[in-house]
Amino acid sequence: METKIEVTSLTHEDLVDFLSTALYGCDNFEVGVASNSKHLYNKCKEEMGEAFCWEDGLAEVLLGGGELEVTDYYAEEDPDTFVAKGTAVSCDEDGNVTHRINYEDVLNGCSLGYKYAEELFINEGGDYYTAWNLLQLVVFGELIYG
């Protein structure tokens, strides 16, 4: 018997913890705000004032229905493969692939990698590798970098 676990919601704090843990010291990915979502980031920055951190803005973009752009600097597959699969929005001349993710993608990634989501959000014992693996599931729908 196979049981599918669905993650149905994440809080602002969950997203901040996930993104800050996954991206701390990460040189594979660069994460930014998609141009159509910058207003959400700026609104959060204005509302939070001095308490604002970069991950707060990213979390609010996702929760507000916006998109983040994740650029993969070490694409192991032919970069055009990602674009053809529809999981990427662009590929530059250096082979760097940019993906767009939204809140639904994060929820889907958490469902795909529930053991990582459980470790991060329920047990609160996850580390960089736990969050990094979960981020790959969010971006690619599978583990690419192990």
pLDDT digits (tens, 9 = 90+) for 9-21: 999 999 999 999 9
Residue 126 half-sphere exposure toward CB, CA atoms < 13 A:
27
Residue 27 · residue 1 · CB < 8 Å = no
Instruction: State the pLDDT at residue 79.
Output: 61
**Does the pLDDT of residue 75 top 80, yes or no?**
no
Is 68 among the domain residues? yes
C-alpha distances in Å from residue 25, one per residue of 12, 77, 129: 22, 23, 11
Instruction: State the pLDDT at residue 126.
Output: 83
What average pLDDT does this structure show over 50-70? Answer: 94
Residue 110 · residue 7 · CB < 8 Å = yes
Instruction: State the pLDDT at residue 3.
Output: 62
Through-space distance between the first and last CA atoms of the chain, rounded to whole angstroms: 27
**Does the pLDDT of residue 103 top 70, yes or no?**
yes
Q: From its phi and psi, is residue 2 left (phi > 0), alpha (psi between -120 and 50) or beta?
A: beta
Instruction: State the pLDDT at residue 67.
Output: 95
Domain boundaries, position 35: 12-140
Instruction: State the pLDDT at residue 85.
Output: 58
- Phi and psi at 100, nearest 5°, equal -110, 135
Instruction: State the pLDDT at residue 42.
Output: 92
Instruction: State the pLDDT at residue 81.
Output: 64
Task: Give 25 or 69, the one with higher predicted confidence.
Answer: 69
* DSSP structure class, residue 10: -
Total domains in the chain come to 1
Is 145 among the domain residues? no
